[in-house]
Amino acid sequence: MPSAPYSEEAVKKHVEGTVVLTIVVNAQGRVSEAKVKSGPPELIQAALDSTTLWEFVPPNPAPFTDTVSVSYGFPKECPGSGSEATVGSVEMRSSLRSEKGNVIGMDEDLEQHLPAYFKSDWRAGVAGRMMLSITVDASGNVTQVSVVKPLSADLDRTTAETVRAWKFKLLSGNTQSFPDVFLLPIQFGTTCPFHEDR
């Protein structure tokens, strides 16, 4: 998602960090409300300005409330040589809440079931936040997947195929209200691998 530029104050002070926001996405796919939960004061206004630039595929149902983060930092090189020093990373929540108030979580180890993020994608600059809408039945099976906010045709397809095979368990709520629909955000990006000091 696009970010508003650093403020002059933050640049002069060399401030880096992450601002966590609660946003409300309306039926037109725009952020209608944004509230700051935490973050460096010098970066808050830029993060709030960023939300005015964001466009989502209109959620169904709307409005949709979510917690997002905007990170600011000065360029750094990873240890190692060139682009080979970076790696693709995939992040998502361990639990999901529906509009009905049901909360579900992965039935098995989440790390073993994350979607593949191929080197060809992240080296080509395909990165950001994908949003899926998933329908889950009373047994925890995913019966339907649709892409609400896409990243690329290939990554959308492979991610949807992966998610269809997931199994969830009910953490809180009412099994009688299933099948239920959940919004699933997945963050694709690059990061530096961990290097131990020797």
What is the domain-level CATH number for residue 42?
3.30.2420.10
What does the mean pLDDT of the chain come to?
80
pLDDT band at 14; cut points 50, 70, 90: confident
Q: Let me know whether 185 and 116 are in one domain.
A: yes
Residues 180 and 123 in one domain: yes
CATH number of the domain that residue 154 is part of:
3.30.2420
Chosen domain end from 25, 41, 72: 72
Same domain for 54 and 100, yes or no, is no
Window from 51-55, 78-82, 119-123, 177-181 with minimum mean pLDDT: 78-82
Q: Are residues 24 and 100 in the same domain?
A: no
Q: How many domains does the chain have?
A: 2
pTM (whole model) above 0.85: no
Q: What is the per-residue pLDDT across 30-46, written as a single tens digit (0 to 9) for each?
A: 899 999 998 899 989 98
Pair 125, 187 in one domain: yes
pLDDT at 21 over 60: yes
Higher local confidence (pLDDT), 91 or 137: 137
Check: CB of residue 102 under 8 Å from CB of residue 173. yes
First to last CA, the chain: 37
* Residue, of 95 and 192, whose pLDDT is higher: 95
Quick one: 87 and 185 in the same domain? yes
Q: Please, what's the b/e burial string for 59-95 (b: 16 or more CB within 10 A of its CB; e: otherwise)?
A: beeeebebebebebeeeeebeeeeeeebebbbebeee
Q: What pLDDT sits at residue 78?
A: 56
